Amino acid sequence: MPSLLWHSHAWRNLLQTLLLIIALFGIAALAGFVLFSEDGLWIALAASGIALVVEPAMAARMTLRLYRARPIAYHEAPELWNLMQQIAERAGLPAIPALHYTLSAIIWVLCGTLHKAELLSPTPESCMTAPTALPT
């Protein structure tokens, strides 16, 4: 993807993310105010802020747990790890994303660390913090 086009998509994704966060904060604030007046508004905003900070770390763990995913060790599938290394190199990623096995028929991508996760549509930035070398 050409650099200019990629940056255009990146800015659009960032804008959409910010708008979604603002909308969710607004809904939480409105619900808090309607249910518990002004105190409820501030409690809802505080809870939303805490969730925004804590949730990315929890989302990856919860998703892996939901699908009962288990990590794939290098010795279990060296060809797969080597293929993932080639893909990561071609994509210009400084790290090789961790591989997990699940019995789900759904193909999905969880890219990044337990602090930043994106399902189904990873961006290059989300893959920058994965393990940096093949396990031995």
Q: Please state, for a pLDDT cut of 70, what percent of the chain lies above it.
A: 75
Give the pLDDT of residue 7: 76
Report which of residues 73 and 121 the model is more confident about. 73
Query: What number of other Cβ atoms are within 10 A of residue 101's Cβ?
Result: 14
Least confident of 6-15, 35-44, 56-65, 104-113: 104-113
Q: Are 113 and 125 in contact (CB under 8 A)?
A: no
Q: Which of the two residues, 51 and 112, has the higher pLDDT score? A: 51
Q: Which residues, 6+ apart, have CB-to-CB distance to 87 below 8 Å?
A: none
Between 107 and 125, name the one with better pLDDT: 107
**3-class SS of residue 113:** strand
Number of domains composing the chain: 2
**Taking the model in full, what pTM does it have?**
0.52
Range of the domain at 8: 1-53
Per the domain annotation, does 65 fall within a domain?
no
Verify that 75 and 115 share a domain, yes or no.
yes
